[in-house]
Amino acid sequence: MKVCLLASGSSGNCTYVTAGETGVLIDAGIPLSRISEELSEIGSDLSTINAILVSHEHTDHTKELIRVAYRTECPVYLSRRTANKMPELLQYHLIPKTFQIQECFQIGDLTIEPFPVFHDAVEPCGFLITGPSHCHEDKVSFGIATDLGAVTPPLIETLKRCHALALESNHDVEMLMNGHYPWDLKQRIRSPIGHLSNNEAAKLLLQLVEHGNLQKAVLAHISQHNNRPDLALETANSYLNGLFDCDLHLSYHDKRSEVLLF
């Protein structure tokens, strides 16, 4: 499996996952031209995309969805309630393929399992994607869980199955509370339907490495105003404390992450 976060943050999100003969995009919140350029840089192109998965309706995940869907001629998969919040798809004659949260479906060589997350959208979800390994004969699983405000026992049990994970590490609490955001926005970010802090993300990573299959992780959706990539990484490493083997990477709003092969 090959994974790259082409962009991650409040200005736009898009993740590329490919295994076997199948490739998908998760969300399409950045321009088509940038998606094409980033794919080219990692040895892929738009022709390798077989579907677009949508996690929720917020514009940083969907603002380029119609353009990307038309250019790639790919089906768009999203939950039924999310589809109802996006009538523009039908206005542009795009008939979405709807899924039920926690019900698996197949796209080529990939098995897709949407799972629920807590966020202030109508029916937000993450995805557990299982497919052929790049390194050995066994199948492997990649999880993506961004835009979530709370870690629940069911979420932990789902993510324990991941060999690699893109996990939100949105903000440093002290930077957020001392920053320039208005109070109501600070409260929204810190709420159970907001975003995970560095400490919350790091604590979850520790649980997944200690009790699950996790080998690689990308810290995602890092705030440009209330966090720093080095601080998010330092916090995660402080929880792991060198006692557990997990390959940590960073994602960025303005450039792609490293490519994960596993």
Mark residue 34 as left, alpha or beta (left: phi above 0; alpha: psi -120 to 50; beta: remaining). alpha
For residue 117, give both structure tokens.
């997350």
Task: Calculate what percentage of the chain has a pLDDT beyond 70.
Answer: 100
> pLDDT tens-digit profile of 37-92?
999 999 999 999 999 999 999 999 999 999 999 999 999 999 999 999 999 998 89
> pLDDT tens-digit profile of 105-144?
999 999 999 999 999 999 999 999 999 998 888 999 999 9
Q: What is the pTM of this model?
A: 0.96
Give the C-alpha separation, 48 to 45, whole Å. Answer: 6
pLDDT band at 244 (very low <50, low <70, confident <90, very high): confident
Mark residue 195 as left, alpha or beta (left: phi above 0; alpha: psi -120 to 50; beta: remaining). beta
For residue 147, give both structure tokens.
């835009």
> pLDDT tens-digit profile of 90-105?
889 999 999 999 999 9
**Residue with token string 């979530």:** 148
Position 242 pLDDT exceeds 80? no
Angstrom CA distances, 42 to 121, 130, 227, 248, 260, stand at: 32, 21, 27, 19, 11
Angle at 155 (CA atoms; ends 127, 166), nearest 5 degrees = 45
Q: Specify the CATH superfamily of domain 2-261.
A: Ribonuclease Z/Hydroxyacylglutathione hydrolase-like (3.60.15.10)
Burial 40-62 (b: 16+ CB within 10 A, else e): eebebebebbbbbbbbbbbebbb
